[in-house]
Amino acid sequence: MLKPAINNMINNINFFAKNSAQKDQASEESRILPNSLKTRVNQAAQKTTSAFIDYPIRGLKGDVNSNFYEFLTMGIVPYLAGSAAFMFVFNAANKHLNLFEKEKASVFGKKMALGVVLYGLFKTISKNLVTKPIKNATGVDTEMPYENVVYSLPTEAGANANIDIQHQQRKVYDSKEFFRKDLLTKEYFDNVAVKLGLGENLNDSVSEVTPIIQNIVATTNTAKSLSSYCWAGVGVGLAVQDSWKDFFNTISGRNKFIPDKEKGFLKNRFAKWKNSAKNLCKISASFVKSLINAFVQMWKGKANSSGITKQAGKIFISTSALLTGLLTWNTVLRAKKMAGNSNKMTIDKAKESMVI
């Protein structure tokens, strides 16, 4: 009976000794990241790469460190794979059609592919129409990113225990009830208190502001979800407009680089980069122009249409803009109202009171 207990004690001593040494050697902590375009791109790239490569392998192996965060992140896989398959299958079927039908189907297929892209693009970008005004009005940045550092569980005991460091790309307010309050400074809560009208130099701004922040997070999440799906629909509507014909022609008619055998490798490489840059600028300018014209066409409606059909685009865009504005206003108003209620005096000083 004593021998297993002694062996277990020795293994625990070895494990904790190595664990402490590893933490001292690579003591990383979770940290707030700047809410910038660069951060969002880096986080999206890391999550997407891990969702396709790392997390499925770890889950299928039954890794003890595979967790719910990785499971949720893998939701990106069917979304992207399904979108790509949708675009590919429809456009790949064109080769079985005759010449006239192939041309018409090709244009429609390109618009469908563009619709998938604009759906995701408008759904993502439109969230800023809700979160940015709310941040300016309340001081609460519901999209605040941070890098979560996780020390993995050991797969072996004793001296063979290896503790790996994992990085998760998350947001401070992923959880409304248990947001990462430990990563936020007191100055942050003080600023939110001032923005909400609670005043300065509060004794405990963290406790005062926390329930209001939780309310802001809940209403903001609902607002940006409803708003983003409306704008995603607008993106699909824009993709079917006729203005994109010039954009597709620009892509198909781009300048193709032909290397000059009389020139050296470096000159050809430089010429290729220059040609690619020109094509990129030309295609980008054509995309912006076609997008603006698509807005105009969707707003005005087709010339040969009438009634609700002609006004459908205008109604769709106006409804999306109005809904976004109302939902954002509702979030800010509820936060200000909560702050006003908590700031009221609960004891009337004009009345007598007993001091205990």
pLDDT one-digit tens code per residue, 282-324: 999 999 999 999 999 999 888 787 778 888 889 999 999 999 9
309 near 301, Cβ under 8 Å? yes
Query: Residue 348: its pLDDT value, please?
Result: 43
Is the model's pTM score more than 0.85? no
Query: Residue 3: its pLDDT value, please?
Result: 42
Q: Which of 219, 220, 222, 196 is nearest to 208 (CA)?
A: 196
Structure confidence by residue, pLDDT tens digits, 21-37: 444 445 778 888 998 88
- pLDDT higher than threshold 90 for residue 274: no
344 falls in which pLDDT band (50, 70, 90)?
Answer: low
81 falls in which pLDDT band (50, 70, 90)?
Answer: confident
- pLDDT higher than threshold 70 for residue 41: yes
Q: In terms of DSSP bridges, do strands 165-171 and 145-151 run parallel, antiparallel, or are they unpaired?
A: antiparallel
18-26 long-range contacts, CB within 8 A, separation 24+ = 18/159, 18/161, 18/163, 19/154, 19/161, 19/163, 22/163, 23/151, 23/163, 26/165
198 near 342, Cβ under 8 Å? yes
Structure confidence by residue, pLDDT tens digits, 155-186: 666 655 677 788 888 999 998 889 999 999 99
Q: Which of 130, 206, 141, 211 is nearest to 176 (CA)?
A: 211
**Would you give the distance in Å from CA 353 to the centre of its chain?**
54
Length of the chain: 356
Mean pLDDT, the chain, whole residue set: 81
The DSSP result for 156-171, as a single string, is S-GGG----EEEEEEE
